[in-house]
Amino acid sequence: MDAPDDTATERADAASNRARLLDAAARLIAERGAEHVTMQSVAEAAGVGKGTLFRRFGDRAGLLLALLGEAEAEFQEAYTEGPPPLGPGAPAGERLEAFGCALIERVAAGADLGAALGRQVLHERRQASDTGRAFHRHVSTLLKEAGVDGDQDMLAHALLAYANFETTDYLHVGCGVPVPRLQSTWVHLVRLVTQIGGP
């Protein structure tokens, strides 16, 4: 391995190492479920020592949070800058439909990681709350853009209460409701709420 001779190269190496560790962790979680993924198994899969993993992420919860943070950053980019209808360019109502469907899909797909985090990183409320605030800003902005009458801020909370992790996880994992059924109720709700000049 070439010795890096400047800070930029060092930084790029660190970033690519970090990405490699997170990739390994994500792969193992998909295969085994987050509950069964240990720091040891991630270190082995990534071909590094366990010490490297602990130095980088602090502990297992830190690794899981880093993974969740990556997923959230990607999703945020998709709904703020990505292609329509999730990103800008489509009418507000269609963007709202796409946003909720993507959110439900994502929660259902990541239920395992999310649930593991919920059980294990109970006090990391701040992060969930930052994400929650970004979601709320997005939905209430689109409701206003769609010309919805009434208390758009509260309506955004109401819509998001349906699409949030607790509700979706309870309905999908707990009650076996398939993702498409959850999504079509979201679409139904958005259409009810966005019909201009409603009751």
| Positions in the binding site for its own copies (CB under 8 A) | 150-151, 154-155, 157-158, 161-162, 164, 166-167, 171, 177, 181-182, 184-185, 188-189, 191-193, 195, 198-199
Nearer to its own copies by Cβ, of 47 and 180: the residue is 180
| CB of residue 14 to its own copies, shortest distance in Å | 37
| CB of residue 167 to its own copies, shortest distance in Å | 4
Check: CB of residue 138 under 8 Å from CB of residue 96.
Answer: no
Query: Cβ neighbours of residue 115 under 8 Å, at least 6 residues apart?
Result: 34, 169, 173
Nearer to its own copies by Cβ, of 146 and 155: the residue is 155
Nearer to its own copies by Cβ, of 56 and 136: the residue is 136
Give the angle 163-181-172 at the CA atoms, nearest 5°.
60
Nearer to its own copies by Cβ, of 27 and 157: the residue is 157
Reading the block at residue 124, the tokens are 């990391």
Check: CB of residue 169 under 8 Å from CB of residue 115.
Answer: yes
| CB of residue 184 to its own copies, shortest distance in Å | 7
Reading the block at residue 156, the tokens are 């955004």
